Every structure is written in structure tokens, then in C-alpha cells.
Amino acid sequence: MTAVRVRDLVVSSGERRLAGPVTFELPAGTTLGLRGPSGAGKSTILRSLVGLLPHPLSASGEITVLGVNVLGVNVGGVNVGGVNVGASRVDLPALRARAALVGQTPVVFPASIRANAVFGVRHVHRASRAALRDRARAALSEAGLWDEVADRLDSPADQLSIGQRQRLCLARALALEPSLLLLDEPTSALDAVATAAVEAAVAGLRGRRTVLVVSHDQAQLDRMCDHVVSIGIDGPG
């Protein structure tokens, strides 16, 4: 099973090439690291996988994520996962719910910790209130945050420290039970202690989830990933 297949992906802004060309594959159930110096367009590539490129940017090449041809062009390749999108328009929200992205800086919504944890899942899946509570607990535990917040789930999420917030964002993604987790420099905005906590949480997912991590830190990727792919500014290295 291949969760992500990227072939000759180039992201550009008008005439200017911002990232790529890059080619890689991520087999389901493994953790893959994308490494490259800052400015190589790692985050841009990650974003293009779920159609979250900022406005003037466009991607070309071939991207298949969980069997969905993200760029919407029918290339006739083997789509994995049984979803046949072909040339029809891609249902990006549905894809993003299955391939959840966690951003570089933690963004929490002005709501309680629990509401943040189930922020996405309460829209995407129909579930009772009790089921959502269970889901929040499971996700927070998996993100390694449960023990720290169990007694104040209803207090505002912006009272958390920045490292806790990042793990809350991770929990928000995990609560969706995604088939694929995309992590964009998950520790670059954090201090050493918070980084260790997030790293431990991500390492805990290894072997159970399919994860794609982007980072500039080779040592960190070695600790967290099964494979590492390097991206240079001028193409795959």
C-alpha cells in the first residue's frame, strides 16, 4: 500500500519555481522524513499534498494521496485506496480529514481544550457527545497531553504553554483518526523541553500510523522516522 506518491512535483508562483522537482513515495504504516535546508520548499510541498497552497502558488506534476489524485488531472496511474477521482473535482475537505496536517506554529481556536481536540472530528463524523468525549481523551492521550490537561478540559486552550498547544494541535489531527498524518516542522517554534515532548509523542506513533514529517534537523528525523528523503533547492538530493 502506498499512502503518498509524488512524481516530478514542482510548485511555482507564476514563472518562479519555489520547490521541486521532487519525487518520493510513502508506504502505508511507515514514517517518512523530508529533510532540506530552509527555503527549499519543504513546507510548500507538504501543503500542496492536501491543497493548502497559499493563493498565487500552483503545483504541477503528479500527487496521489490516499488514492486521491490531488491535482485533479487523470493520469491513469494506479490509485491506491480505491477512491476513483479521475478528472472530477477533488473533494479536498474529505481528503484533509483523512490526511491531517499539523502546522509549524500551533494554532489553537478560541475555545476550550476539549473543543479544540474535537474541532475537526465533530464536523467530519457524526458522533454523540459521549463518543466525542472518548475521542478527545484518546487523541489527547496519543499526543501525550492527557495527563497534563485531564483536570481542566473545559478551560480556554490559549492558557496552555506553546509546547502543550502544539501537542493539542497534534491531538486535533489524531482525533480525526487520519490514515495519514502530515507534520510541518512540528518543533521549529518550540524550546528544547517542548521539543522533546512533541518528539516523544511523534515517536510514539511510529509503526501505528502513516506519518510524513518535514524538518531541517537530520538528527531529529533520524530519531523519529523509518526513512528520510532529502530535498535540495535544485531538486531531489
Partner 1 sequence: MAAIVAFLIVGVRSGPLRWTELLSSSTWDPTRGQFGASAMIFGTAAVAVMAVAIAAPLGWAAAIAIADLAPSRWRRTLRAGSEMLAVVPSIVYGLIGIAFVRPFVARFADVPGGDSLVAAALVLAVMVLPTVIAVSTDALAGVPNTIREAASACGLTRTEVIRSAVLPLARRGMGASLLLGLARALGETIAVFLVVGRADGRFPASPGDLLTRLVRPGQTLTTKLNGPESVLAGTSGAHWAALCALGLLLLGSVGALTLVGQRRSRPRVGSPDKAADGRSLARDRSLRWPGIGRVRRDRLTRAVLVGALGITLLLVAAIVMVVVVRGAAALHPSFWWSTSVGGSGGGIRNQVAGTAVLVVVAGVLAAPVGLGLGLVMSEYGGPALARWLRSATLILGGVPSILLGLWGYWLFNIQLGWGRSWLTGSILLALVALPPVAITVASAVAALPAERREAAHACGLRRDQMVRSVLVPQALPGLLTGTLLGLARAAGETAPLLFTAAVFSGAPALPSGIRDAPVSALSTHIFTLAQDSADPAAARTAWGAALALVVVAAVLVVAAVTARRRMERNLR
Chain contacts with partner 1 (rule: CB under 8 A): 50, 52, 55, 91, 93-98, 100-103, 105, 107, 109-112, 114-115, 118-124, 129, 132, 153-154, 156-159, 169, 172-173, 176
- Residue closer to partner 1 by CB (options 75, 90) is 90
- Residue closer to partner 1 by CB (options 84, 109) is 109
Give the 3-state secondary structure of residue 88: coil
C-alpha cell at 9: 512535483
Cα 198 from Cα 212, distance rounded (Å): 15
- Residues contacting residue 51 through CB under 8 Å, at least 6 positions apart: 70, 90, 92, 95, 96
Cα 79 from Cα 77, distance rounded (Å): 6
Q: How far is the CB of 42 from partner 1 (least distance, A)?
A: 16
Strand partners for 99: 180
- Residue closer to partner 1 by CB (options 40, 183) is 183
- Residue closer to partner 1 by CB (options 131, 233) is 131
Q: How far is the CB of 120 from partner 1 (least distance, A)?
A: 3
Q: How far is the CB of 181 from partner 1 (least distance, A)?
A: 11
Q: How far is the CB of 180 from partner 1 (least distance, A)?
A: 12
- Residue closer to partner 1 by CB (options 89, 219) is 89
- Residue closer to partner 1 by CB (options 169, 221) is 169
Q: How far is the CB of 101 from partner 1 (least distance, A)?
A: 4
Q: Where are the alpha helices (DSSP H) in 129-217?
A: 129-142, 146-149, 162-174, 192-203
Q: How far is the CB of 45 from partner 1 (least distance, A)?
A: 15
C-alpha cell at 47: 501543503
C-alpha cell at 27: 508506504
Cα 120 from Cα 173, distance rounded (Å): 8
- Residue closer to partner 1 by CB (options 136, 224) is 136
Report in angstroms the alpha-carbon separations of 211 from 29, 53, 89, 202. 8, 20, 26, 9
Query: What contacts 24+ positions apart, CB below 8 Å, involve 151-156?
Result: 152/113, 153/112, 153/113, 153/114, 154/112, 154/113, 154/114, 155/112, 155/113, 156/110, 156/111, 156/112, 156/113
Q: How far is the CB of 97 from partner 1 (least distance, A)?
A: 3
